[in-house]
Chain A
Amino acid sequence: GAGVSQSPSNKVTEKGKDVELRCDPISGHTALYWYRQRLGQGLEFLIYFQGNSAPDKSGLPSDRFSAERTGESVSTLTIQRTQQEDSAVYLCASSPPGKKTYEQYFGPGTRLTVT
């Protein structure tokens, strides 16, 4: 079946512009995660959605970052007034319900470059 998809795959933007990154999780997956991966570094948790519960936003680095999810479907990560330090690969992952909820399936990522 189809995996997690993300768009765009690459995004180059000027400092100060807003960007929107999209994630389409695997159908039926109730949990959705966003991570940031800076060059040469590990994954940094940003935000977690689980069904209709309030999202865990504890990883968002500043109020310029926000994310939304429509039900158990698409999610968008928005970065306002982008800064050069926002340049990174943004990864989305989703997890199924039930016993396998701890297994995360990752998308290919969106590479964001802020010039």
Chain B
Amino acid sequence: AQSVTQPDIHITVSEGASLELRCNYSYGATPYLFWYVQSPGQGLQLLLKYFSGDTLVQGIKGFEAEFKRSQSSFNLRKPSVHWSDAAEYFCAVGTTSGTYKYIFGTGTRLKVLA
């Protein structure tokens, strides 16, 4: 079955520290992969996406993610976290066969310490 796993429910980092949020997926074909961020009281904002080509993708707000087919992973990274990055982050797979839709992970809530 198609699924997305975000193993870390909560992560706490200090401001200025590096960040990596994990995402693993299960999907039979080549997936389309996305990371979204949801700030308190806000809708979801697209951070970055992977469709094909270069496996390291750059997004907004200084985020990047790397697609690793062998590990079925699409981890999100940022070299230096800012206090404003505190939010919930969702990884999603876009199905590429049949009716198109997203499958979301359960999210990782990021807390940033000053």
- Seen from chain A, the residues whose Cβ lies within 8 Å of a Cβ on chain B are 4, 31, 33, 35, 41-45, 48, 50, 56, 58-59, 91, 93, 101-109
A104 to B90, CA, bound (A): 13
Contacts of A48 in B (CB 8 A): 99-101
- CB <8 Å contact, A108 and B42: yes
Chain B residue with Cβ nearest A42: B106
B interface SS class = strand
Total of A-B residue pairs, C-beta within 8 Å:
56
Smallest Cβ distance from B39 to chain A, in angstroms?
Answer: 11
- CB <8 Å contact, A103 and B46: yes
- Seen from chain B, the residues whose Cβ lies within 8 Å of a Cβ on chain A are 32, 34, 36, 41-46, 49, 51, 90, 92, 94, 99-107
Chain A residue with Cβ nearest B45: A106
Selected contact of B102 from candidates A33, A105, A108, A109, CB within 8 Å: A33
- CB <8 Å contact, A45 and B43: no
Chain A residue with Cβ nearest B46: A103
Smallest Cβ distance from B24 to chain A, in angstroms?
Answer: 14
- CB <8 Å contact, B51 and A102: yes
